[in-house]
Amino acid sequence: MDAKKGDWVQIHSIILKPEERASHLPEDTKRVPLEMWEKGFILHDANVGDEVEIETVIGRRAKGILVKVNPVYEHNFGEPVPELLNIGMELRKILEGEGHE
């Protein structure tokens, strides 16, 4: 079993299929479903891909397909950006330079 009862997990569900979506959407959005992800503590042992039930941090119950066990925050500080690296030095040079009081 990928997840044991009580594990912190993420579930996925389809809220609206493409044909159920609102009429006034751009074409690219209308072609894809409206999807949802929720996190909570799983109420029973299960494998990734199973339909499961969770209890969220506020005590609400939700159902969906188990996609991740112990989901990780993956956003970060990014890479050094060459286009930004010199800005500080350039601005200090302007402040130190002549041509103004």
Partner 1 sequence: MNRDMSYEAVMARKNEIMKMAVGIDYNEFEMGGLAFDYEKMMREVGYSIEDITRIQSETSVGNTPLIELKNITELVRAVSPSGKGARIFVKDEAANPSGSFKDRRASVSAYRAKTQGYKGIISATSGNYGAAVASQAAMRGLKCIVVQEVFDSMERGQPEILEKGRKCEAFGAEVVQLTVGPELFYEFLCLLEETRFFNASLYTPFGIAGIETLGYELAHQVRERTGKDPDAVVITHAGGGNVTGTARGLLKAGCKNTKIIGASVDLTGLRMASDNDFNRKSFTTGHTGFGVPFATWPDRSDVPRNAARPLRYLDRYVLVTQGEVFYMTEALSQLEGMERGPAGNTSLAAAFAIAREMNRDQILVVQETEYTGAGKLPSAQLTFAKEMGIKVYRSDPSENKPGERIVIPEHPSQIKVKDVDLMQLKRSYIKNCLENSHLEKLSAQDIGFLAEETRLDEETVERIIDNLGVI
Among 2, 21, 50, 65, binds partner 1 (CB under 8 A): 21
Residue 39 in the binding site for partner 1 (CB under 8 A): yes
Question: What is the DSSP code string of the chain?
Answer: --B-TT-EEEEEEEEE-GGGS-TTS-HHHHTS-EEEEEEEEESS-B-TTSEEEEE-TTS-EEEEEEEEESPPP--------HHHHTHHHHHHHHHHSSS--
How many angstroms separate the Cα of 9 from the Cα of each of 45, 48, 55, 79? 11, 10, 10, 29
Residue 49 in the binding site for partner 1 (CB under 8 A): no
Among 2, 7, 34, 68, binds partner 1 (CB under 8 A): 34
Residues binding partner 1: number (CB under 8 A):
46
Residue 53 in the binding site for partner 1 (CB under 8 A): no
Q: Where in 74-93 is the site for partner 1 (CB under 8 A)?
A: 74-81, 83-84, 87-88, 90-92
What is the binding site for partner 1 (CB under 8 A)? 15-16, 20-22, 25-26, 28-29, 31-40, 56-60, 73-81, 83-84, 87-88, 90-92, 94-95, 97, 99-101
